[in-house]
Chain A
Amino acid sequence: MTARTDKIKTLRERVTSKRVVTTLIIMFALLILIAIISVATGSERIGFQTIVKIIAAKITGQPIDIAPEQQVIITDIRLPRVLMAIVVGAALSVAGAAYQALLRNPLADPYVLGVSTGAAVGAIAATIFAESISIGRPLAAFLGAVLTIATVILLGQSRRHAPTERLILAGIITNTFLSSVVIFLMTSASGLRLQSVFSWLIGDLGSNARLLPVVSVFIVLGIVIIYFNSRSLNLMMTGEEEALALGVEVRRVKAMVYIASSLITGAAVSVSGVIGFVGLVIPHAVRLSAGSDNRMVVPASALAGAIFLLIADTIARTVIAPRELHVGVVTAFVGAPVFVYLLRRAS
């Protein structure tokens, strides 16, 4: 008993700003290291020094004497893809952490709740009907995400409380329905368009580099909004009425966080398609090692999610080279067992 108490004590000490900052710095350093390794990994072998030189040259605008093919591979193919994995991984993880706190349900995640598919419906509709507007896809995806989460919450509510299973069931039903809508939209699309929609839908991080700046802005903004509410979310995790009595403006926090998490889910989906389980696995792993305080969970999930998706994508593009796996396959292989484990523990 004492040993156990001590273990919990060491595991879940009070979260202080110093502890958060130290953890985040270590994680950030790890992320940079993995990003460099990832950029170096691929069929064309390029050394670390060369990579650093190319990136430095790209930033400063100085010309360098490195083969232009190598420069193109780094700056136009691998680097955007690595950055995309980082922002999408961060977005999906933080959205998961936020939904879990708001819905008081460790199983909630943009994929399980159907929010990702809802965003996909919006994005596909925009691709088919308004392809010329480049910002149309993220905006339509955001709209799809907001409408979906509203529907799922409505369906998942029972008169008194919202039990875990009911909410997840509502998510599954919504997800199934929206998947049919996706198939319907795709059958009505044709030829080239269909192919581009298809490769995007199952999680391709390489094909939307031009949207990277726009979605990065959305995602960073959304994460900042959620982080700003993280202390309030701590209290809401133990119950909305209690949070209200403790001084949280519950309605305002809910509105802000729902909108922000839908924004980042929509932004992520609009460039990467539907990638499952990231938002489930990462916040869970973070809570397991660092406790449930959202002031730690939100930023640490962002970095851990970035690292996770970056590794997953690097595996996806190298494991059966020269062909590529879709990154969603890799995340599902890790995520589905974790989901089953969490579900069994919850009931």
Chain B
Amino acid sequence: MLEVRDIHFSYSEPLLKGVSFDVHQGELLAIVGPNGAGKSTLLKIILGMLRPASGNVTLEGESIAKMSRRKLARFIGYVPQATDVRFPLTAMEYVLQGRFAQGRILGFESDGDVEEVRRAMELTDSTDFACRLVSELSGGERQRVMLARALASRPRLLALDEPVANLDIAHQLKMFDLARRLTSTGEMGAIVVTHELNLAAEFATRVLMLKAGEVRAIGRPSEVMDEKTINDVFDADVLIDKNPVTGAPRITLLATAQEDCSLSRS
């Protein structure tokens, strides 16, 4: 469904050097990699916010460069890392924004739009706070509302940018579980940029490892998440075994001896 082909991008230095991959319906692709690897830039290119220097992104065979903003918005539901709402706005009004690309540029939401919003809020279990202000929601509640807004347009592809960065462990688990359930029906695919390797190993159907603007590995978690690859990508010593309950790769960080740079004289 989503085809990313040989994407190059640079600001002052090259940031992405020939990235290619596919995402299919029903798939949850986790993009992992160290800070500065180009994950967010890659996501912005897929969302049409940045134009690649070369390469092409196509959705169901159509190049996104030729799509209108509204058409692209109907295709991809985007969940940003955080939202900063400075005006009084209820959760429901916020989720209704997700219907913008379906309606007219100037107009009011129809009953059909409200129905879609209700459905999206039920899917994310956020109906209870529909009438509360977004600025007054907790981190977990807000994340669910953001996801509901992305779902309100019934997208084919979900793009989540570090969706659990601000969440406690229980909400992290819920968020990934929800993303997995949404994609497993086969109606949509999802891309999740994340730092949570264990959650990616558990919930993603495939993992893409990005380092210095290049794809170092892509495949099922059990195929690509080994000690050597992770050490190579993250420059961190890890121990990998199997989660005794689920069988997914389990990544444990190893504390290695750090060079002593304390000021105390020994």
Q: Report the minimum CB–CB distance from A92 to chain B (whole Å).
A: 20
Bound-state Cα–Cα, A237 to B88, Å: 10
What total count of A-B pairs have CB within 8 Å? 103
Q: Which of B12-20, B103-111, B234-242, B246-254 contacts A (4 or more CB under 8 A)?
A: B103-111
Could you say which residues of chain B place their CB within 8 Å of the CB of A241?
44, 49, 80
Bound-state Cα–Cα, A105 to B105, Å: 23
Asked if A53 is an interface residue, CB under 8 A from chain B, the answer is no
Assess whether B87 is in contact with A292, with CB atoms less than 8 Å apart.
yes
Given contacts A231-B100, A238-B89, A246-B101, contact A8 B83 (CB under 8 A): no
Assess whether B80 is in contact with A12, with CB atoms less than 8 Å apart.
no
Q: Which of A13-21, A28-36, A175-183 contacts B (4 or more CB under 8 A)?
A: A13-21
Asked if A76 is an interface residue, CB under 8 A from chain B, the answer is no
Q: Which of A9, A228, A247 has the most CB of B within 10 A?
A: A247
Could you say which residues of chain B place their CB within 8 Å of the CB of A281?
none
Could you say which residues of chain B place their CB within 8 Å of the CB of A244?
47-49, 69
Q: Report the minimum CB–CB distance from A6 to chain B (whole Å).
A: 8
Assess whether B92 is in contact with A14, with CB atoms less than 8 Å apart.
yes
Indicate which residue in B47, B90, B97 contacts A12 across the interface (CB closer than 8 Å): B90
| CB neighbors of B among A96-125 (8 A) | 104-106
Bound-state Cα–Cα, A246 to B84, Å: 16
Indicate which residue in A17, A227, A235, A287 contacts B97 across the interface (CB closer than 8 Å): A235
Given contacts A245-B47, A249-B69, contact A14 B109 (CB under 8 A): yes
Bound-state Cα–Cα, A345 to B159, Å: 34
Could you say which residues of chain A place their CB within 8 Å of the CB of B90?
8, 12, 291
Indicate which residue in A16, A227, A287, A295 contacts B87 across the interface (CB closer than 8 Å): A287
Q: Report the minimum CB–CB distance from A238 to chain B (whole Å).
A: 5
Contact indicator per residue, chain B 90-103, by CB within 8 Å of chain A (1) or not (0): 10111011101101
Asked if B76 is an interface residue, CB under 8 A from chain A, the answer is yes
Assess whether B92 is in contact with A106, with CB atoms less than 8 Å apart.
no
Assess whether B100 is in contact with A9, with CB atoms less than 8 Å apart.
no
| CB neighbors of A among B57-97 (8 A) | 69-70, 72-74, 76, 78, 80, 83-90, 92-94, 96-97
Question: Which residue on chain A has the smallest CB distance to residue B77?
Answer: A245
Given contacts A5-B131, A9-B131, A228-B106, contact A14 B83 (CB under 8 A): no
Asked if A234 is an interface residue, CB under 8 A from chain B, the answer is yes
Assess whether A232 is in contact with B133, with CB atoms less than 8 Å apart.
no
Assess whether A5 is in contact with B132, with CB atoms less than 8 Å apart.
yes
Could you say which residues of chain A place their CB within 8 Å of the CB of B89?
237-238, 291-292
Indicate which residue in B98, B105, B132, B149 contacts A8 across the interface (CB closer than 8 Å): B132
Assess whether A245 is in contact with B49, with CB atoms less than 8 Å apart.
yes
Could you say which residues of chain B place their CB within 8 Å of the CB of A291?
88-90, 93
Asked if B217 is an interface residue, CB under 8 A from chain A, the answer is no
Could you say which residues of chain B place their CB within 8 Å of the CB of A295?
106, 108
Asked if B114 is an interface residue, CB under 8 A from chain A, the answer is yes
Question: Which residue on chain A has the smallest CB distance to residue B71?
Answer: A247
Q: Which of B87, B107, B108, B149 has the most CB of A within 10 A?
A: B87
Question: Which residue on chain A has the smallest CB distance to residue B110?
Answer: A16
Q: Report the minimum CB–CB distance from B14 to chain A (whole Å).
A: 21
Could you say which residues of chain A place their CB within 8 Å of the CB of B159?
245
Could you say which residues of chain B place their CB within 8 Å of the CB of A237?
85-87, 89
Q: Report the minimum CB–CB distance from B174 to chain A (whole Å).
A: 22
Assess whether B87 is in contact with A8, with CB atoms less than 8 Å apart.
no
Question: Which residue on chain B has the smallest CB distance to residue A235?
Answer: B97
Indicate which residue in A16, A238, A245 contacts B108 across the interface (CB closer than 8 Å): A16
Q: Report the minimum CB–CB distance from B227 to chain A (whole Å).
A: 36
Could you say which residues of chain A place their CB within 8 Å of the CB of B80?
239, 241-242, 245
Asked if A27 is an interface residue, CB under 8 A from chain B, the answer is no
Given contacts A245-B49, A246-B101, contact A230 B70 (CB under 8 A): no
Bound-state Cα–Cα, A291 to B87, Å: 9
Could you say which residues of chain B place their CB within 8 Å of the CB of A242?
78, 80, 83
Bound-state Cα–Cα, A182 to B254, Å: 67
Q: Which of B86, B94, B107 has the most CB of A within 10 A?
A: B86
Question: Which residue on chain B has the smallest CB distance to residue A15?
Answer: B108
Question: Which residue on chain A has the smallest CB distance to residue B129?
Answer: A5
Q: Which of B74, B92, B107, B131 has the most CB of A within 10 A?
A: B131
Q: Report the minimum CB–CB distance from B68 to chain A (whole Å).
A: 8
Q: Which of A5, A9, A15, A245 has the most CB of B within 10 A?
A: A245
Given contacts A238-B84, A239-B83, A246-B97, contact A232 B49 (CB under 8 A): no
Bound-state Cα–Cα, A231 to B47, Å: 21
Asked if A248 is an interface residue, CB under 8 A from chain B, the answer is yes
Bound-state Cα–Cα, A16 to B98, Å: 17
Contact indicator per residue, chain A 134-154, by CB within 8 Å of chain B (1) or not (0): 000000000000000000000
10 examples of A-B residue contacts, CB within 8 angstroms: A8-B90, A12-B131, A17-B108, A106-B87, A228-B105, A238-B94, A247-B70, A292-B89, A293-B93, A295-B108
Closest 6 CB pairs of A and B: A247-B73, A247-B101, A245-B78, A292-B87, A247-B70, A9-B131
Starting from the known contacts A12-B90, A238-B84, A245-B159, 17 additional A-B residue pairs (CB-CB under 8 Å) come to: A5-B131, A8-B131, A14-B92, A14-B109, A14-B114, A106-B87, A229-B105, A229-B106, A231-B106, A232-B105, A235-B97, A238-B83, A238-B85, A242-B80, A244-B69, A245-B49, A245-B78
Question: Which A residues form the contact surface with B (CB < 8 A)?
Answer: 5, 8-9, 12, 14-17, 20, 104-106, 227-232, 234-235, 237-239, 241-242, 244-249, 287, 291-293, 295
